[in-house]
Amino acid sequence: MTTIRSFNPPIRTLMGPGPSDVHPRILEAMARPTIGHLDPVFVGMMDEMKSLLHYAFRTRNELTLPVSAPGSAGMETCFVNLVEPGDKVIVCQNGVFGGRMKENVERSGATAIMVKDEWGKPVDPNKVAEALAAHPDAKIVAFVQAETSTGALSDAETITRLAHDQGCLVIVDAVTSLGGSPLEVDAWGIDAIYSGSQKCLSCAPGLSPVSFGPRAVEKIKARKTPCQSWFLDLSLVMNYWGGGTKRAYHHTAPINGLYGLHEALVMLQEEGVEHSWKRHTDMHEALKAGFEALGLSFVVPEGSRLPQLNSVTIPQGVDDAAVRGLLLKRYGLEIGAGLGDLAGKIWRVGLMGHGASAKNVVFCLTALEAVLSEMKAPIAAGVAVPAAQAVLAAKGY
Ligand SMILES: *Cc1c(COP(=O)(O)O)cnc(C)c1O
């Protein structure tokens, strides 16, 4: 047998839909000594984690914790705990992730009432209002705030208000929005929310912060049937994360991963979450100026664009896979491809967390222009970087 050696990944610049570049401080935190997950020192770190998550989510919800698995598990945690067999759930779909919500509803034995919008458009609150009026027996409205598959931002505050007016709870996907776009769990009254560690928090993948408000906790406590997932059953997980002295073993926490998330949230607090939102917007403005100078157009209408996920249309005749392949091979730069109907038609360029930087904006524009020029693509040469730089200078970077 050939000797297999240590795995040494190359250094990349991650500007796709996630994972984003992990800050060296976070990698260093993850390399610290592993201790027991019931060690009093570890338990102290978990208590800090909870207040850091309160800060990031802008909530005081007692039931706030990182699920020990990626964003998809946070999604599933919300659905399997809040949805009971026979329930009706209104699911908004304007991209890939709304479709996964539908799967979760149906696998929980409930009926999904779909509110569909075109990929690239935000969720239309009028359609949500119509669905609520047509289905007064619906219990929950579920939607994605930041649709990473297209780059569209939906109005979480308005959709939540409409749902509450009809007595429904909301489940919000904030995997890509947390840390990158304004999000106010308590002020907007969001009942259940999940996120991920590897997007705008710049942490390694594998953890999903979640938070549940009082109405959601009440619904979980009033369940007639036990939650069908043992691992994600919050009534069991709460005994571990619930605080106090009686922490009981549920599963072995991903200890070093949690060190990383703790550091990521400390960094968010140092910067200030509002400043982080602004930095994402500023870098998006600079990248947008560069893309538009190149001649690339945005998929999502102005006003609904996510700063952290920039979708642009691939110019006619340009080979999508060849461009992404060359960016990776020659420059170590990863950008995202389109999904579903948008495969081969768009690129998705992430400016997430630590990666939302002037350095990444200029690097991406430079590398993309070089590759497109070499391929004789119909772009304007020599103008993208100056356009981005003008925006950066005007904003004081
Ligand atoms: C990435 C993402 C997810 C899934 O998160 P994983 O960590 O990949 O499981 C869910 N929803 C949205 C909007 C995402 O961007």
Q: Which helix (H) or strand (E) holds 112?
A: strand 111-116
User: From ligand 1's centre to the CA of 69, what distance in Å?
Assistant: 11
Based on the domain organization, do 235 and 282 belong to the same domain?
no
Is 76 close to ligand 1, i.e. is its CB under 6 Å away? Answer: no
Which structure tokens are listed for 176?
A: 């890509």
Is 71 close to ligand 1, i.e. is its CB under 6 Å away? Answer: yes
Q: How far is CA 181 from the centre of its chain?
A: 10
Q: Is the distance from CB of 170 to CB of 141 less than 8 angstroms? A: yes
Domain harbouring 207, CATH code = 3.40.640.10
Q: Where does a domain end: 242, 270, 298? A: 270
Residue 181 lies in a domain: yes
> Which residue segment(s) compose the domain that 167 sits in?
24-270
Question: What's the confidence (pLDDT) of residue 155?
Answer: 98
Residue 9 lies in a domain: no
Q: Where does a domain end: 227, 254, 270? A: 270
Q: Is the distance from CB of 367 to CB of 266 less than 8 angstroms? A: no
Neighbours of 233 (CB within 10 A): 18
User: From ligand 1's centre to the CA of 278, what distance in Å?
Assistant: 22
Residue length of the chain: 397
Which structure tokens are listed for 87?
A: 């329930």
d(CA 77, CA 1): 43
Residue 78 lies in a domain: yes
Specify the number of domains making up the chain.
2
Residue 70 lies in a domain: yes
Based on the domain organization, do 243 and 341 belong to the same domain?
no
Based on the domain organization, do 261 and 316 belong to the same domain?
no
User: From ligand 1's centre to the CA of 145, what distance in Å?
Assistant: 12
Name the residue with the closest Cα to ligand 1, atom 3. 71
Residue 2 lies in a domain: no
Q: Is the distance from CB of 110 to CB of 59 less than 8 angstroms? A: no
| Residue keyed to tokens 């070093």 | 256
Q: Which helix (H) or strand (E) holds 294?
A: helix 273-294
Is 205 close to ligand 1, i.e. is its CB under 6 Å away? Answer: yes
Residue 3 lies in a domain: no
Which structure tokens are listed for 144?
A: 């994605």
Based on the domain organization, do 236 and 175 belong to the same domain?
yes
Based on the domain organization, do 262 and 334 belong to the same domain?
no
Residue 16 lies in a domain: no
Residue 207 lies in a domain: yes
Atom number, ligand 1, closest to the C-alpha of residue 70: 7
**158-192, pLDDT tens digit by residue?**
999 999 999 999 999 999 999 999 999 999 999 99
Based on the domain organization, do 104 and 124 belong to the same domain?
yes
Question: What's the confidence (pLDDT) of residue 241?
Answer: 73
Nearest Cα to Cα of residue 192 among 148, 139, 149, 135? 139
Based on the domain organization, do 292 and 341 belong to the same domain?
yes
| Ligand 1 probe mutation, 20, 94, 103, 148, most atoms within 8 A of CB | 148
Domain harbouring 385, CATH code = 3.90.1150.10
Based on the domain organization, do 289 and 246 belong to the same domain?
no
User: From ligand 1's centre to the CA of 336, what distance in Å?
Assistant: 14
Q: What burial class does residue 102 get, using C-beta atoms within 10 Å of its C-beta: 0-12 exposed, 13-18 middle, 19+ buried?
A: middle
Does 5 appear as a known binding residue? no
Which residues of the chain fall below pLDDT 70?
A: 242-246
User: From ligand 1's centre to the CA of 199, what distance in Å?
Assistant: 9
Question: What's the confidence (pLDDT) of residue 245?
Answer: 59
Q: Is the distance from CB of 171 to CB of 160 less than 8 angstroms? A: no
Is 377 close to ligand 1, i.e. is its CB under 6 Å away? Answer: no
* Maximum separation of any 2 CA atoms in the chain, in Å: 66
Q: What is the side-by-side order of every strand in the sheet holding 13-15?
A: 13-15, 333-337, 346-350, 309-313
Question: What's the confidence (pLDDT) of residue 238?
Answer: 77
Based on the domain organization, do 163 and 228 belong to the same domain?
yes
Q: Where does a domain end: 252, 270, 288? A: 270
Name the residue with the closest Cα to ligand 1, atom 15. 148
Based on the domain organization, do 170 and 303 belong to the same domain?
no
Name the residue with the closest Cα to ligand 1, atom 8. 71
d(CA 263, CA 32): 12
Which structure tokens are listed for 85?
A: 């067999």
User: From ligand 1's centre to the CA of 8, what distance in Å?
Assistant: 26
Based on the domain organization, do 216 and 363 belong to the same domain?
no
Which structure tokens are listed for 151?
A: 């780059």
Based on the domain organization, do 262 and 304 belong to the same domain?
no
DSSP 8-state symbol, 371: H
Which structure tokens are listed for 209?
A: 């912060």
